[in-house]
Amino acid sequence: GAGVSQSPSNKVTEKGKDVELRCDPISGHTALYWYRQSLGQGLEFLIYFQGNSAPDKSGLPSDRFSAERTGGSVSTLTIQRTQQEDSAVYLCASSPDPTYTYEQYFGPGTRLTVT
């Protein structure tokens, strides 16, 4: 079946502009995660959605970052007033079960470059 998809695959933006990154999880998966992968920081958790519950935003690095998940499916990660340190690969993952024990399925990522 279809895996997690993300768009765009690459995004180049100028410093100070806003960007939106999209994630389509696997159909039926209730849990959705955003992570960031960068050379200096490795793989970092950003935000987690589970069903209709309030998201866990504890990993967002600043208030320039926000995310929403519409209808329990598609999610959009928005970065406002981008900075060069925001350059990274943004990975989305989904899981069919919100417990701690279930593996997550990752999308191919969006490579963001801020010039």
Residues forming the site for other proteins (CB under 8 A): 4, 31, 33, 35, 42-43, 45, 48, 50, 56, 59, 91, 93, 98-101, 103-109
How far apart CA 107 and CA 111 sit, in angstroms, is 12
How far apart CA 41 and CA 102 sit, in angstroms, is 25
Q: How far is the CB of 73 from other proteins (least distance, A)?
A: 19
Query: Of 21 and 91, which CB lies nearer to other proteins in the complex structure?
Result: 91
How far apart CA 23 and CA 7 sit, in angstroms, is 7
Q: How far is the CB of 16 from other proteins (least distance, A)?
A: 28
